[in-house]
């Protein structure tokens, strides 16, 4: 005789509705405690974490500065700026500036250089340096002259200028406008580090609570969902760090160059962007698991997911717009495209591992 299938949602469980709520409270408490403990650990490494997450922003800012310098050179000098010069700017991360020097300053520098060369020549010929012409006290020739240079009073300024160019390495800095801003960033970075470190245990507690509502023969899927959930989370975070930051920042800085506006990078805005974007990717990458879980529970059949593909694409783009901290379309597209692939992955998982029934079917019939 065939074994009768038990369709009771809570079969194999003696927990009442109130006990399920208590279980939820226990799981949340454990997850929060794990988050707090890992955040304490994160507090001691926050400085290194902030420096690490600043790296892509500072690199993008340097690229912006070099690109702005190249645009300015091409506008001013046109075809005289060749490809080799532009390539050198990129390779050495150089920017160019035009400055004005007083002719008297140039004269003093030339005189100091001549005296320095004369002294070196006399020392090679064995002439006592005390009998040589003294080097001007306002220009340092050796380390002993540094104090004299700082104490020297410069002559009155003149308007007799010489225009010249200087080439220097691009230097990018992130600013803090409030005295407490960096401390809050330190705490925020600690919390994010804690969330990443505690994420395996937090996901474990989530699946432990979910398993209480599953059939006894379905609870084995928790051991499949948990590592897959962690892999998708860290995969989304890694994707954001490796492939999303650079095009998004380059896109945003491009508008600064178009409008000729120099970007002033504030630490709070940068940290919010760099921290929240990977977390948004990590959470959104849970999509195929959520789809598969709803199907296995019998709440949403495979056919519904397939028929509502157009609506799902619209929802994915709206969710990408909400989950990405910046308002630019680039970050939204970079999240939406992988999510559409993950949606198809979820469809494949449901078709490859079919099954599922509506646990509320008997209730609806009554």
Predicted pLDDT of residue 366: 40
50: phi > 0 → left, psi -120 to 50 → alpha, else beta; which? alpha
Torsion 267-270-276-278 (CA) sign:
negative
- Picking from 230, 222, 233, 246, the residue whose alpha carbon sits closest to that of residue 61 is 246
Predicted pLDDT of residue 7: 45
- What pairs with residue 94 in β-bridges? 169
Residues 6+ apart with CB under 8 A from 258: none
Predicted pLDDT of residue 122: 61
**Low-confidence spans in the chain with pLDDT less than 50:** 1-12, 14, 127, 129-135, 137-138, 140, 356-366
Say if CB 166 and CB 27 are below 8 A apart.
no
**Terminal-residue alpha carbon distance, the chain:** 28
Say which residue the tokens 């680039």 belong to: 330
CA distance linking residue 284 with residue 280, whole number of Å: 6
List the domain boundaries for the chain. 19-53+176-360, 95-169
Predicted pLDDT of residue 6: 47
Residues 6+ apart with CB under 8 A from 215: 6, 9, 11, 12
Which segments of 44-102 does DSSP mark as H helices, in order? 46-77, 83-92
């Amino acid at each position: 005789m065939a074994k009768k299938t038990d369709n009771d949602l809570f079969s194999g469980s003696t927990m009442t509705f109130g006990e399920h709520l208590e279980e939820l409270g226990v799981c949340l408490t454990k997850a929060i405690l794990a988050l707090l403990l890992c955040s304490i650990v994160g507090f001691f490494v926050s400085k290194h974490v902030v420096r690490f997450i600043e790296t892509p922003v500072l690199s993008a800012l340097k690229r912006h500065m070099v690109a702005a310098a190249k645009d300015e050179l091409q506008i001013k000098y046109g075809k005289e700026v060749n490809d080799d010069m532009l390539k050198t700017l990129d390779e050495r991360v150089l920017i160019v500036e035009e400055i004005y020097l007083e002719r008297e300053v140039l004269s003093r520098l030339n005189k100091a250089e001549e005296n320095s060369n004369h002294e070196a020549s006399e020392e090679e010929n064995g002439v006592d340096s005390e009998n040589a012409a003294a080097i001007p006290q306002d220009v340092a020739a050796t380390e002993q002259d540094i104090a004299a240079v700082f104490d020297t009073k410069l002559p009155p300024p003149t308007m007799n200028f010489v225009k010249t160019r200087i080439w220097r390495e691009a230097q990018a800095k992130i600013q803090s406008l409030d005295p407490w801003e960096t401390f809050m960033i330190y705490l925020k970075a600690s919390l994010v580090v804690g969330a990443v470190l505690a994420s395996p245990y937090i996901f474990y507690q989530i699946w432990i609570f979910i398993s209480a509502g599953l059939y006894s023969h379905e609870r084995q899927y928790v051991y499949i969902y948990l590592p897959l959930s962690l892999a998708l989370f860290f995969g989304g975070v890694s994707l954001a760090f490796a492939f999303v930051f650079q095009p998004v920042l380059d896109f945003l800085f491009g508008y600064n160059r178009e409008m000729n506006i120099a970007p002033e990078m504030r630490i709070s805005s940068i940290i919010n962007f760099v921290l929240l974007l990977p977390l948004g990717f990590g959470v959104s990458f849970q999509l195929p698991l959520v789809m598969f879980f709803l199907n296995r529970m019998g709440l949403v059949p495979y056919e519904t997911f397939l028929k509502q593909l157009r609506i799902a694409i619209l929802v994915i783009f709206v969710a990408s717009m909400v989950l990405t901290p910046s308002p630019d379309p680039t970050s939204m597209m970079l999240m939406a495209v992988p999510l559409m692939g993950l949606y198809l992955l979820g469809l494949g998982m449901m078709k490859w591992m079919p099954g599922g029934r509506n646990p509320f079917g008997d209730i609806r019939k009554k």
